[in-house]
Each structure stands twice: as C-alpha cells, then as structure tokens.
Amino acid sequence: MVKSNGIELWTEGFGQPGNPPILLVMGASAQGILWPEELIEQLVAGGRYVIRYDHRDTGQSTSFDFQKNPYTLEDLAKDALGVLDAYGIAAAHLVGASMGGMICQLVSILHPERVLSLTVMMSTPLRTGIVETFQQAFQGKTPEGALPPPASRAIELQLAAASNPPRDREEAIDLQVKMARTMAASGVPFDEQECRRTVERIFNRARNPAAAMNHGFVPSPTREQAEALKHLRVPTLVIHGTDDPMFPAAHGVAVAERIPGAKLLMLEGMGHDIPRALFGELSRALLTHTGARA
C-alpha cells in the first residue's frame, strides 16, 4: 500500500528494482490484478522491473462516494505518478490498457519528463465528448464524424445488464464472466473457468465492489488536453486488436495518427482483452519498445 494524493493505493512490484521500470495502468473499473502475471513474468525475464496497481475505487485502494468527492482523469493521472513517487522512480515506461491508455496519454502530456516511453493498448485518443459519445451509442445514435461506437454485442449486453441488474454476488459474478466473454475476440478460445476464478478473486479482494462503477462518471478530457496530443514527443507504441468490441480498430489507428511518430501494432485475434495466446507477441513488442532485446 502506498500513499498518493491523500489516498491509499495497492501496488505490486515484480523483478529487480534497479532494472528499467514499466508501470502497468489498467482500464476503467478494473483492478491491477487483471494484468496477467504470466505476461509480467516474461517482461521481468527480459530485464524489466514491473509495477501494477489498483486504481482508486478498485480492489484494495481507497473507495469514494463520487457524488461527494468527484474526481477527473487528471486525478487518476496523478495517482499513477504517485505510485512512481512511492517507489522512488523518476521516470518509467508507461503501458496503459483501455482507460489506462487514456491516463497514460494524459501523464505523457502533463509530465513528459516522467515518461521514458508510452504504450497505448486497446484504447482511444484523448478527446472531448468521449462519455457523451458512449451514452449516445447506447441510445442507438452515432454522431457524424465520430469514431465507431462499440460493437452491437457489447451494447446489447450493457443494456440488458442495466435493465436487469444482478441481485446478489453470484449473479454479479456471472454477469462479469459474460461481459469478459463478450469483450474477448470472437475467434480466440475463451477459458471460462479461469475467467470465473479471476472474477471471484476480484470480488473477494475489493474494499467496495460497487465503487468501481464510479469510473463511468469520470468526465471526458478537456479540449486543451486533446489538442496537446499532436505536440507529444514521447516514443509511442499503439497496440490494438482487430476484433475489439469496445474500441473498434479505428480507435487504435486514430491514436497512432494523432501522436507524432507513433508506431501501430494491430493484432489479429485480439479483442478488448489480453489473451494468453498473444502473451509472447505482446511481451516481445513491449521489450523492444522499452529498449530491451526481445
């Protein structure tokens, strides 16, 4: 547990602290344990020191009453920097998934001196109106000129869950497993037993499982933050799946286009998840990008 911005954050480090550091930043409502340990072990074997952590309102970290204590994406970015401060790390390689990719983009804009490199996985470029665009997508509307909305299978499940919310822990676990299956690529084997064990662990270690939903209230980035992407000078790798149902492939392309010099790695058979079948390819890409020999 570390102190950051007046709150507690659960963290976990892997490998030798003297090695080049990678900070893994997970997505909205997601605990740090969703970064697979097998993937982390491959990064450690490649000479990296890897840190993962629970965002505020997830896992073992401090939870909030969002109505009384609202926070922004910038606050989540400050939490990430607070983790680095607690470990005595001046600058790190940032790897962010989904909303974590947005957080890492914002850290890179606000404090580029703390960022050795940036990797944005299965995410979307910082832009205004992200929250509103998603709300419109779930209402069946797509604003003209906007990036593609989530796939119909993702929207249909979210709407079904909203109209018939889980009544107890077991139904909540069943729903999370169903959501994980929906987010996974359609052409990749889905290990339901392993997923269920992970979801049960998530519920068991959460201070307040319901608090994770607060991330859905975090406002969109400001126009100034979105515009700053085109001036970013941090070495950037964008990793995206061809079958991502939450952020279709065009979102990954847009990130790479908006950040000068960014490289795009589009992975066949990857959805809005980190499948075991791609651990090797992902670790090689990350080791190469962060300066190690794959």
Distant-in-sequence, close-in-space partners of 275: CB < 8 Å, separation ≥ 6:
184, 185, 188, 269
Residue 108: Cβ-neighbour burial (10 angstroms; 0-12, 13-18, 19+): buried
Q: Which of 57, 243, 244, 273 is catalytic?
A: 244
Q: Which of 29, 61, 63, 98 is catalytic?
A: 98
Task: Give catalytic status of residue 168 as yes or no.
Answer: no
| Amino acid, single-letter form, for residue 183 | M
Q: Which of 55, 240, 251, 272 is catalytic?
A: 272
Distance CA 105, CA 253 (A): 15
Task: Give catalytic status of residue 55 as yes or no.
Answer: no
| DSSP reduced 3-state for 266 | strand
| DSSP reduced 3-state for 97 | strand
Task: Give catalytic status of residue 272 as yes or no.
Answer: yes
Q: Phi and psi at residue 169, in whole multiples of 5°?
A: -60, -45
Residues with catalytic annotation?
98, 244, 272
